[in-house]
A = this chain, B = another copy of it.
Amino acid sequence: MIIRILGWADVDIDALRTALDQRARGRSLPQALYASPAVFEAELEGVFAREWLFACNACEIRSPGDYLTLDIGRDSVMVVRGHDLEIRAFHNTCRHRGSRICLAERGNARRLVCPYHQWTYELDGRLFRARQMPPDFDAAEHGLRPVHVEVIGGLVLVSIAAEPPSLRKFRAAVSPYITPHAPQKTKIAHVSELVEQANWKLVIENNRECYHCAGTHPELMATLVDFALPADAASDPAHQALMQTSATRWQAASLPYLPADGGTEFRCIRLPFKDGRVSFTPDGSPACRRLLGGFSEPDQGSVRMFRVPNSWHHFLSDHIIHCRVMPQDAASTVLRTTWLVHEDAVEGVDYGVENLTAVWKATNEQDRRLAENNQRGVLSRAYVPGPYNPSEFMLTDFNDWYIEKMNAAYPPPSVAAALSR
């Protein structure tokens, strides 16, 4: 079955349907889903053009006229702070001849001016001025085309869907975890972009398990408790005691810590660091002396949050890390990592960038290599989806979600027939 994407890219989804049907729960995905350019095109439409995507922390566009651009496949989106301080998002294509308007990843502008012929848009998207157009030109019909945007606890999400799904459940569930860290009162300490020569789902899968951590991430494991195997942890009295102590303290401080019920859509939990460690630094000591929110002492463990399809986050007492995954093509993906500290923290006094970023820079680079080797290996004709380890249960969650979304976007012929009746 041929489907046409964007009006001109013809995609044969028979192989996609075959692969979706072949998926075996509890195993890695069939090869076509990692390898096929046609499947990738179908995902851009069926997932990335339908879902909410994490874009940035709102503090990245703090002031009126601040903007950030984001590539979603071939689409570019501008996220803009208005003069009224509202955050809006628009497609980054001029209504004249289609040029991109904002060219930088971040910037500030009083109005959004197309670099080609200076068509000028208000920060709320209205066309302010188009030079020398004839009298019958209707500026009101040529405003920027809007993109949905929501801000949840300082996190900016966008959707290019016509009718994006509800964020109500996500907002309600995660806000209590995030709010104490006051993400809206942060500033960027560092941004890194890493291109991984791997399918975006392999990048996500890599993040969704710590089965690989012990063998790969010495810097990370200096502070992280790998709780992925609760049975093992349960049998460790020291860890049991740490969990109990932490829980008691967090309850007293009214900090939620038990896993939120996010189904396959999101995951949110507060977990302690290794005993005596409080932050993702090489030695586990705080990365920033100025603590976030109302925290008066640094030992708060960390809130770990993941949301399909494209981000995971760490909220600590002293800093926040956002990791954003955007696919480029079937075999390459961009990971953008932002490290944020209190907006009043002073570099060189309260924190140092190298100490703040050392652990996750090393970890991301290690993960890049793993994901790239994974990508190259799954292309083999001898590849067969293998069984997940019990600690890889979150990959099954992710795959469940992915298969459900793709089945909804590209229903099996029998379902499609029923739907069209």
Contact = CB atoms under 8 A, between A and B. Distances in A.
Given A8-B38, A96-B386, A99-B370, 13 more contacts: A7-B30, A7-B31, A8-B15, A74-B380, A92-B380, A93-B382, A93-B383, A98-B380, A99-B373, A101-B377, A116-B374, A117-B215, A117-B389
A370 B142 CA distance: 21
Contacts of A130: 389
A397 to B, nearest CB: 16
A94 B211 contact: no
Given A134-B390, A211-B131, A382-B145, A377 B28 contact: no
B100 A373 contact: yes
Contact of A373 (B9, B75, B115, B229): B115
A378 B389 CA distance: 45
Nearest to A384: B95
A320 interface: no
Interface in A1-45: 4, 6-10, 12, 14-15, 18-19, 28, 30-32, 35-36, 38-39
Interface of A: 4, 6-10, 12, 14-15, 18-19, 28, 30-32, 35-36, 38-39, 49, 74-76, 91-101, 103, 115-118, 130-134, 137, 142, 145, 160, 205, 211-212, 215-216, 229, 232, 369-370, 373-374, 376-391
Contacts of A381: 6, 49, 74-75, 91, 160
Contacts of A96: 28, 386-387, 389
Nearest to A141: B387
A226 B75 CA distance: 34
A95 B381 CA distance: 12
B132 A229 contact: yes
A31 B98 CA distance: 9
B391 A93 contact: no
Contacts of A116: 212, 370, 373-374
Contacts of A211: 117, 131-132
Given A36-B9, A117-B211, A118-B215, A94 B379 contact: no
Copies per complex of this chain: 3
Contacts of A232: 132
6 contacts: A6-B31, A7-B18, A93-B378, A98-B378, A98-B383, A134-B390
Nearest to A380: B93
Contacts of A18: 7-8
Contacts of A15: 4, 7-8, 10
A100 B374 CA distance: 6
Contacts of A216: 115
A46 to B, nearest CB: 14
Contacts of A387: 96, 133, 137, 142
A205 B28 CA distance: 43
A75 B380 CA distance: 4
Task: Count chain B CB atoms within 10 A of each CB in A19, A95, A381, A389 and give the residue with the most.
Answer: A381
- Which 7 interchain pairs have the tightest Cβ spacing? A91-B382, A8-B32, A98-B378, A100-B377, A74-B379, A93-B380, A8-B15
A14 B103 CA distance: 33
A100 B373 CA distance: 5
Contacts of A137: 387
A14 to B, nearest CB: 8
A412 to B, nearest CB: 17
Nearest to A119: B386
A94 B100 CA distance: 44
